[in-house]
Amino acid sequence: MKVAMYYRNDDVRIEEMPVPAIDPDEILVEMRACGICGSDVLEWYRVKSAPRVLGHEMTGEIVEVGDAVEDFQVGERVFVSHHVPCNDCRFCRTGRHTLCKTLHSTNFYPGGFAQFVRVPAINVSRGTFKLPDRLSHAAGTFIEPLGCVVRGLRIAGFSRGQSALVMGSGVAGLLHIKLLRAMGASTIAATDVSEWRLKKAAEMGADLTLHAGQDVVEQVRKLNQDRLPDLVVTCTGALSAVRQGLEAAGKGSTLLFFSPTEPEVTVPFPLFDLWNRQVTLVSTYAAAPRDLSEALDLLDSGVIDVEDMITHRLPLEEAQRGFSLVDRARDSLKVILENDSKH
């Protein structure tokens, strides 16, 4: 089978691997669509484990089912989550599934950017979701990224009628805008360094779009009638955005760190000001089964429409072009690699 083997952002090679054999409690899925996530092009993070087959926003069709598997059949269309929790550790028992050691160690093989994927037993039972008929394979690749956003806004305690500032208008930022709009945000402001992406943010529900170089804090204050936003979400790891987010967090607000900085980066922050304003700082990582199920319902019901976020659909063989598009982050949003081969 063909796989897209990642060496670095500008070196993604189409290579051959054997089709994985499955155990009795596993399934084999033929990948139909797999989104390239922004985290896939975090080179400082990915090169440490290269060469490897990346891809975790994967949908496909079941082509083989182990004898011990009862809940799935050949021919069913599915989304498969790469990370699944144990449901038994202290983090899982308190609803903090994405801190679970098992969740951080599970994955399917060899990765979503492959023609065929072996799904281990724990992922079959806790991370495989049947795709509704109305949901395309391409739209299904948004289940995982939307699930991350669902979890983030729940952790941040966002509620209807609150105002929000989304810093970074890439795929994650735009999904935040769409979900915030659906949840009844009073106002939504969005920032980015790309005018093209700011235009997309406006099209997808932002009330105010601002180039990150502008006086963001003052403009957002005007939008909210001399108040700073109730929620600030950093959807970029740029240090300037983190600093801006700290400045923009108003009295009693919450600052959600959705995207990470590089590991060695440290950010000095005004402790007294944050203490005095009673700002809550929270962070989020990944999505648990509950979040993925909710994301699937949002997509299936049409509450969240993602088709307008897909800018490129490329064959698996053009993986390098797809990675380059996401890495440049200019005139692209969601880039999806597809496998149309017949078996």
Q: Which of 254, 283, 312 is the last residue of a domain?
A: 283
Please check whether residues 19 and 132 belong to one and the same domain.
yes
State yes or no: cis peptide before 51, omega within 30 of 0: yes
Nearby residues of 52 by Cβ (< 8 Å), 6 or more positions away: 5, 6, 46, 110, 111
Residues 272 and 293 in one domain: no
Whether 99 and 133 share a structural domain: yes
CATH of the domain at 73: 3.90.180.10
The pLDDT of residue 343 is 39
Residue 340 confidence (pLDDT): 81
Asked whether residue 110 is domain-assigned, the answer is: yes
Shared domain check, 78 and 9: yes
Cα 209–213–216 angle (5° rounding)? Answer: 55
Number of domains the chain is built from: 2
Q: How far apart are CA 328 and CA 267, in angstroms?
A: 25
Residue 70 belongs to a domain? yes
Does one domain contain both 116 and 167? no
Backbone conformation region of residue 265, classed left if phi is above 0, alpha if psi is from -120 to 50, else beta? beta
Note whether 55 and 98 are same-domain residues: yes
> Is residue 152 domain-resident?
no
Same domain membership, residue 161 and residue 131: no
Q: How far apart (Å, rounded) are the C-alpha atoms in residues 75 and 204?
A: 35
Residue 191: the pLDDT is 98
Residue 162 maps to a domain: yes
Question: Does 142 lie in the same domain as 9?
Answer: yes
* Same-domain status, 164 and 122: no
Query: Which of 120, 142, 134, 144 is closest to 29 using CA atoms?
Result: 120
84 and 169 part of one domain? no
What average pLDDT values come out for the chain (343 residues) when binned by 10 residues? 97 98 98 96 89 98 98 98 97 97 97 98 98 97 98 98 97 98 98 96 98 94 96 95 94 96 88 94 96 98 97 98 94 94 49
Amino acid symbol at 271: L
Q: Give the model's pLDDT for residue 320.
A: 98
Same-domain pairing of 125 and 161: no
pLDDT for res 268 = 87
Q: Within a domain: residue 343?
A: no
Domain that holds residue 85: 2-147+287-338
Phi and psi at residue 78, in whole multiples of 5°?
Answer: -140, 155
Pick the last residue of a domain from 283, 298, 319.
Answer: 283
Q: With respect to residue 301, please indicate whether it lies within any of the assigned structural domains.
A: yes
Q: Beta-strand (E) ranges in 193-323? A: 208-211, 231-234, 254-257, 280-283, 310-315
The strand pairing partners of 336, in sequence order, are 35, 313
Dihedral sign, Cα of residue 273, residue 276, residue 279, residue 282: positive
Q: Identify the pLDDT of residue 341.
A: 60
Q: Structure pTM?
A: 0.96
Same domain assignment for residues 131 and 183: no
Residue 97 sits at φ, ψ, to 5 deg, of -60, -30
The CATH number of the domain holding residue 245 is 3.40.50.720
